[in-house]
């Protein structure tokens, strides 16, 4: 399926970019006329994935985080990737309450939050190479993207 | 992100406003911690009414503070009316540690009664 629109963004793994990334994703996705609730779901999930890239992917280093958003007629696909540490055991990492950084007051709920606010979460990762998290969501909006937006 | 403190007897009310994420977690943690260790504080109410956003970083902040409040012999409660934040509190098990209310008066009553 061909996206109706697409954007790519790269930014440094600084915590001040967490708010930036979720605001940008929500602004782009709002072209599909999602409900306020659906938009808030997207903001929350993007925040979780970007925060993970900063805290776990790059730890104390500064690296580049890449975000790709693809819009379809009524759905969105958001890919967030880092070239950081990677995940050894993805299944374990996605378990509720599992965290590799309890001393940093992490609760191990990031993936669970992503899964409960999005339709599907896909994780690809290789230790030493990095991690890509893809978030999928279909919007309930009966309304199709307005014609005037389809230039 | 901002946090304001008021005291009702030995109960500290920590009122959050804005967006609580990893970027602001440490700032908020230090601010609350400074108030919690005061001899005048026993119980704590986290008033999340003014929060427009919170993700799992907020869970870490609340659970970490809760542990310290308990160590000092106090109790804690949450005020929250935002559906999404409430859902995050629920799935992460925070509501098993601290009761959540919609109104400040209910939280105050619960802490003084128990
Ligand atoms: N981008 C990433 N790079 C490397 N490891 C990751 C990445 N994302 C997640 N992980 C691993 O998966 C674990 C679980 O992530 P999750 O977001 O569920 O919890 P957390 O980040 O530890 O805690 P919380 O999100 O509740 O603050 C992390 O502790 C970490 O070990
Ligand atoms: Mg996380």
Domain boundaries in chain A? 5-141
Residue B114, domain member (yes or no) = no
Residues of the domain holding B33: 2-105
CA distance B22 to chain A (A): 7
- pLDDT band of residue B7 (cuts 50, 70, 90) is very high
pLDDT of residue A148: 52
- pLDDT band of residue A60 (cuts 50, 70, 90) is confident
Write the DSSP symbol of residue A143.
Answer: S
Q: What is the pLDDT of residues A100-129, one digit of tens each?
A: 999 999 999 999 999 999 999 999 999 999
Residues of A whose CB is below 8 A from B53: 22, 40, 43-44, 47
Residue B37, domain member (yes or no) = yes
pLDDT at A34 over 60: yes
Backbone angles phi, psi at A13, to 5 degrees: -80, 60
Q: C-alpha dihedral over A91, A95, A98, A101, to 10 degrees?
A: 60
Calculate how far, in angstroms, residue B57's C-alpha sits from the geometric centre of ligand 2. 7
pLDDT of residue B113: 78
Average pLDDT value over all residues in chain A: 94
Report yes or no: A12 and A77 within 8 Å, Cβ to Cβ.
no
What value of ipTM does the predicted structure carry?
0.95
Query: pLDDT higher for B83 or A143?
Result: B83
Which pair of tokens denotes residue B114? 């128990």
Q: What is the pLDDT of residues B45-97, one digit of tens each?
A: 999 999 999 999 999 999 999 999 999 999 999 999 999 999 999 999 999 99
Mean pLDDT within A44-73: 97
pLDDT of residue B51: 97
Report yes or no: B76 and B42 within 8 Å, Cβ to Cβ.
no
B84: CATH? 3.30.750.24
Average pLDDT value over all residues in chain B: 96
pLDDT at B37 over 60: yes
pLDDT of residue A142: 54
CB contact under 8 A, B88 and A109: yes
- The active-site residue out of A79, A106, A115, A124 is A106
Ligand 1: list residues with CB < 6 Å. Answer: A 48, 52-53, 56-57, 82, 84-87, 93, 98-101, 106-111, 131; B 56-57, 59-60
CA distance A145 to A85: 39
Pick the closest to residue A1 from A79, A97, A76, A107 (CA basis): A76
Any idea how long chain A is? 151
Strands (E), A2-145: 5-12, 64-71, 75-82, 120-126, 130-138
pLDDT of residue A146: 54
Report yes or no: B12 and B74 within 8 Å, Cβ to Cβ.
no
Number of domains in chain B: 1
Is residue A70 flagged as an active site residue? Answer: no
pLDDT of residue B27: 96
pLDDT at A144 over 70: no
Residue B72, domain member (yes or no) = yes
Give A 2-31 residues with CB within 8 A of chain B: 15-16, 18-19, 22
- The active-site residue out of A17, A22, A38, A48 is A48
pLDDT of residue A1: 84
- pLDDT band of residue A17 (cuts 50, 70, 90) is very high
- pLDDT band of residue B22 (cuts 50, 70, 90) is very high
Report yes or no: A110 and A43 within 8 Å, Cβ to Cβ.
no
CATH number, span A5-141: 3.30.565.10
pLDDT at A147 over 60: no
Q: C-alpha dihedral over A21, A23, A27, A32, to 10 degrees?
A: 80
Report yes or no: A30 and A49 within 8 Å, Cβ to Cβ.
no
Nearest CA in chain A to B88: A113
């Amino acid at each position: 399926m061909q996206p109706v629109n697409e954007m790519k963004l790269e930014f440094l793994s600084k915590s001040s970019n967490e708010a930036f990334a979720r605001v940008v994703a929500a602004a782009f996705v709002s072209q599909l006329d999602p409900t306020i609730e659906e938009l808030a779901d997207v903001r929350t999930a993007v925040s979780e994935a970007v925060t993970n890239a900063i805290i776990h992917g790059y730890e104390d280093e500064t690296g580049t985080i890449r975000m790709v958003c693809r819009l379809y007629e009524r759905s969105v696909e958001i890919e967030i990737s880092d070239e950081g540490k990677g995940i050894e055991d993805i299944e374990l990492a996605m378990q509720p309450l599992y965290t590799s950084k309890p001393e940093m007051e992490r609760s191990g709920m990031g993936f669970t939050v992503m899964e409960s606010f999005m339709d599907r979460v896909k994780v690809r990762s290789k230790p030493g190479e990095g991690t890509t998290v893809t978030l999928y969501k279909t919007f309930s909006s009966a309304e199709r993207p307005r014609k005037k937006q389809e230039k | 992100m901002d946090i304001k403190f008021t005291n009702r007897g030995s109960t500290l009310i920590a009122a959050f406003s804005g967006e609580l994420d990893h970027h602001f977690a440490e700032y908020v943690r230090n601010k609350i911690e400074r108030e919690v260790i005061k001899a005048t504080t026993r119980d704590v109410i986290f008033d999340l009414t003014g929060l427009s956003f919170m993700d799992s970083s907020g869970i870490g902040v609340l659970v970490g503070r809760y542990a310290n409040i308990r160590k000092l012999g106090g109790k804690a409660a949450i005020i929250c009316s935002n559906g999404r934040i409430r859902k995050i509190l629920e799935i992460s098990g925070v509501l098993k540690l601290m009761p959540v209310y919609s109104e400040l008066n209910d939280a105050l009553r619960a802490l003084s009664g128990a």
